Amino acid sequence: MKQWECGVCGYIHKGEEPPDTCPVCGADKSAFTLINGEDDLQEEEIFQETEETDKKVSGLKAKVDQAILDHHLHPISVHIPNGVIPAAVFFLICGSVFGNESLITAAYYNISLVFIFMPVVLYTGYVEWINRYKKAMTGIFKAKIASAGTVAFLSCLLALWKSFSPDASGGFYIILHILMLAAAGIAGHIGGKFVFKN
């Protein structure tokens, strides 16, 4: 059976024809190239190795970026927001329902941690997008960028809000937390599609 590789995300499709759109990244049919056999694969591997070697010798930033790619630091770092935000929302809702100030404060500390860590998440994601996905701008990448931007913006807004106004709580404050949770969920779901390819 023929194998087709998506030039954007690397998804492999098996069949006589490439799919109309990539099920992982949404790239057009034209992004797919036929992988004929072992020879082609070997050639591609050698090409990728040469490309990686070139990158390795071009300065500190390139070394940092290469380490980010080699050690999968984006999927690792996203565990901070994706793990901490649900806990924060849980603390905030429980604190609000039961009138427990300590829980509301715990949510604030958690959101502050997310805010502090978001630059790492955004930068590692940017490096992956540039290097692994060649700045592709299909719908799924737009959704990922928008949802990550929403998490960064809301964590900043909510951390600052509570810092300047310690009494902050209530309906709108909670709704913004839930929106941030939803955005983190969307970003995580899309990221999962890229990592696991189906």
Tell me if 142 sits within 8 A of 133, measured CB to CB.
Answer: no
Cβ at position 22, least distance to Fe ion in Å: 3
Residues 72-91 close enough to bind Fe ion by CB under 5 A: none
Tell me if 122 sits within 8 A of 77, measured CB to CB.
Answer: no
Binding span for Fe ion by CB under 5 A among 20-28, 82-90, 140-148, 176-184:
20-28
The backbone torsions φ and ψ at residue 38, rounded to the nearest 5 degrees and listed phi first, read -60, -40
Q: Which of 18, 25, 140, 173 binds Fe ion (CB under 5 A)?
A: 25
140 binding Fe ion? (CB under 5 A): no
The amino acid at 109: Y
6 binding Fe ion? (CB under 5 A): yes
Nearer to Fe ion, 9 or 103 (CB): 9
Cα separation, 82 vs 148, whole angstroms:
11
Nearer to Fe ion, 28 or 94 (CB): 28
Total of residues contacting Fe ion (CB under 5 A): 8
Cα separation, 126 vs 65, whole angstroms:
10
C-alpha dihedral, 47 to 48 to 50 to 56, nearest 10°: 170
27 binding Fe ion? (CB under 5 A): yes
Q: Which of 9, 84, 118, 121 binds Fe ion (CB under 5 A)?
A: 9
Q: Which two tokens stand for residue 148?
A: 């990550």
136 binding Fe ion? (CB under 5 A): no
List residues binding Fe ion (CB under 5 A). Answer: 6, 8-9, 11, 22, 24-25, 27
